Structure 1
Amino acid sequence: MERRLRIITADERMAQDKGVKALIIGPAGVGKTTLLRTLDPKTTLFVDLEAGDLAVRDWPVATLQPRTWEECRNLAAYLGGPNPSLPPTACYSQAHYDAMVEVMGPADAIKQYETFFIDSITVASRLCFRWAEQQPESFNDKGKKNLLGTYGLMGREMIAWLTHLQHTRDKNVFFVGILELVRDDYNVSSWEPQIEGSKTGKELPGIVDEILTMQFINFGDGDLVRALVCTQPNPWKFPAKDRSGKLDQIEEPHLGKLMAKIAADKPRHPVSHELPQLTTTEAA
């Protein structure tokens, strides 16, 4: 039976619940995991891939701790629901979702959670690479390692995983990752997310709604203050993106307030090319 499409009116579309899908990146030690404290613990599900929850050990939030790429895929199928376009043998299909419901319980078990906080995409990419290098695509016909096949498979897997989680329309999803300063062969430096392989890093900006760089900013008084850099262009050339058009270039590192600002019924910011005269440090 074919799935019937129907036109969603403008009023219906505007009334739909639409969660924020954001990538939060910053250097190690800047306090990305502590952003969990700015979310309501009763409606937040913490996906702890890093086993690095020491900073939030006393925060009463429900947690899942996948240890393998297979568990990451199963969790995404369960949290994101089925993709009706996929055949039964594919990951994230109706059959995959049904199997996860049998293992983890009915969908009502996670209905209370409005936000998924996934820490971190850096570790997820490492788990994916470890899984990919054991698959047939990672070997040639003589049984020797084929790194091109490994990275190709890993890239497809990561994009499918991220895209599936991005399509949970009524949930907020925050992916956390490490930001590093990379220098190319010509000694030109740039800030990039620390993710295995190049495909995921290149396509990720098109998947999420928001890219927020968490860094120490000097506002001119000599003190370094943690802040979220939310828009491009910015003076430090940090990765940033604001699809909502409602965020200022610098925002307080508080995800609850950030989501409220995006959801507020107010017009989008006009496009401005003026940059604030601020300085920053490259120290992590």
Structure 2
Amino acid sequence: MTGALPIITADQRLAEPRGIKGCIFGKSGIGKTSLLWSLNATTTLFMDLEAGDLAIEGWQGDAIRPRTWMECRDFAVFIGGANPSLRDDQAYSPAHHAAVCQKFGDPTAVDRYETLFVDSITVAGRLCFQWCKGQPEAFSEKTGKPDVRGAYGLHGREMIAWLTHLQHTRRKNIWFVGILDEKLDDFNRKVFSPQIDGAKTGLELPGIVDQVITMAEIASADGQPARAFVCQTLNPFGFPAKDRSGRLDMIEVPHLGQLMAKIHGPVRPAAARLTYAPAVEGLPAAAAANPSHVN
């Protein structure tokens, strides 16, 4: 007997619990770690990679402190489950998951946590690169000497696999925190980019997560500096940002709990989520109003 095509109906898809996957970037000292104060301590697990929890002294939530890249991978498969498409000799495979469960115990122990707060992806990248420099790919087959290009190539693959596995943990909110670098390009313009070893992770990360938020210092209405979340790609500051939910304004209050509540709020109609310029210089008005028809 032939089985039915496993189609997920619209009702089933809309009823599925889905967590938010996002990253928050900002300069050092802007208050990224302190965002934990805005989250429910009983349902939040703090992945403390920086050992920088002085800012949240007194916060009542639980934490884990991986010290190696192997521990970071083990926890990702423990919380996210196995990827059945992988071979037993690969990370995040059923064999890897089984070995980690034997080490850590019943994975349902983390079911009570709704949010994983990873501080920071910058340090995770450093741990990953340190591990990669000791792998066979990081050495030349001909000379046996270190091959930096091989190490960076492996680093990019490892980081993307780790982030993608956590991104597929549908039921949990996962937030990655990182440092935002500010540089000047050849035309003396400010350019912002995540501080992560290697270029591959920083380039591909925005396509993996749902939300990219920049926590920045922006002048308030009275001209005084204030912290804020910049949440939309089209912003006048040039900050990296992205809102897949379509529910966030360009500037939001820097309160992560309120931000998640807004993302989980009522769905906005498509007409309100996508805005088109009525006319763009060099582009016919009809095409600007319906850019999908532009060749």
The TM-score range, normalised by the shorter chain, is over 0.9
Residue pair 2:210, 2:242 contacting (<8 A) in 1 also: yes
C-alpha spacing 1:14/1:94, structure 2 compared with 1 (3 Å): same
Residue pair 1:233, 1:273 contacting (<8 A) in 2 also: no
Distance in 2, Cα, partners of 1:10 & 1:157: 34
Counterpart for residue 161 of structure 1: 162
Counterpart for residue 216 of structure 2: 215
Counterpart for residue 288 of structure 2: none
Specify every segment of 5 or more residues in structure 1 that has no aligned partner in the other structure, as ranges: 275-284
Residue pair 2:69, 2:128 contacting (<8 A) in 1 also: yes
- Secondary structure of the residue that 1:79 maps to in structure 2? helix
Number of aligned positions between the proteins: 272
C-alpha spacing 1:4/1:139, structure 2 compared with 1 (3 Å): farther
Give 1:168 shift: 0.2
Counterpart for residue 7 of structure 1: 7
Give 1:108 shift: 1.5
Counterpart for residue 16 of structure 2: 16
Kindly provide the CA deviation profile for residues 35-93 of structure 1, in whole angstroms up to 9, marking residues without a partner as x. 01111011100000000000112101110000111111111111111001001111000
Specify every segment of 5 or more residues in structure 2 that has no aligned partner in the other structure, as ranges: 278-295
Kindly provide the CA deviation profile for residues 212-266 of structure 1, in whole angstroms up to 9, marking residues without a partner as x. 0001110241211111000021010000000010000011111111111111123
Counterpart for residue 206 of structure 1: 207
Kindly provide the CA deviation profile for residues 114-148 of structure 1, in whole angstroms up to 9, marking residues without a partner as x. 10000000000011111111111111121211111
Counterpart for residue 176 of structure 2: 175
- Secondary structure of the residue that 2:91 maps to in structure 1? coil
Residue pair 1:26, 1:177 contacting (<8 A) in 2 also: yes
Residue pair 2:137, 2:154 contacting (<8 A) in 1 also: yes
Poorly superposed stretches of 4+, deviation over 4 Å: none
Residue pair 2:83, 2:94 contacting (<8 A) in 1 also: yes
> Greater shift after overlay, 6-15 or 187-196?
187-196
Letter matched to residue 254 of structure 2: P
Distance in 2, Cα, partners of 1:183 & 1:4: 57
Counterpart for residue 46 of structure 1: 46
User: If the length of structure 2 is used for normalisation, what is the TM-score?
Assistant: 0.89
Counterpart for residue 90 of structure 1: 90
Residue pair 2:18, 2:172 contacting (<8 A) in 1 also: yes
Letter matched to residue 154 of structure 1: H
Distance in 2, Cα, partners of 1:190 & 1:126: 22
Kindly provide the CA deviation profile for residues 157-180 of structure 1, in whole angstroms up to 9, marking residues without a partner as x. 000000000000010000000001
Counterpart for residue 225 of structure 1: 226
- Secondary structure of the residue that 1:214 maps to in structure 2? strand
Kindly provide the CA deviation profile for residues 170-199 of structure 1, in whole angstroms up to 9, marking residues without a partner as x. 100000000010234554430111000000
C-alpha spacing 1:4/1:193, structure 2 compared with 1 (3 Å): farther
- What is the correspondence of 1:45-64 to structure 2 with a 5 Å cutoff? 45-64=45-64
CA RMSD of aligned residues (A): 1.6
- What is the correspondence of 1:122-161 to structure 2 with a 5 Å cutoff? 122-140=122-140, 141-161=142-162
Counterpart for residue 277 of structure 1: none
State the percentage of identical aligned residues: 55
C-alpha spacing 1:187/1:144, structure 2 compared with 1 (3 Å): farther
* Largest Rg, 1 or 2: 2
- What is the correspondence of 1:183-198 to structure 2 with a 5 Å cutoff? 183-198=184-199
C-alpha spacing 1:63/1:191, structure 2 compared with 1 (3 Å): same
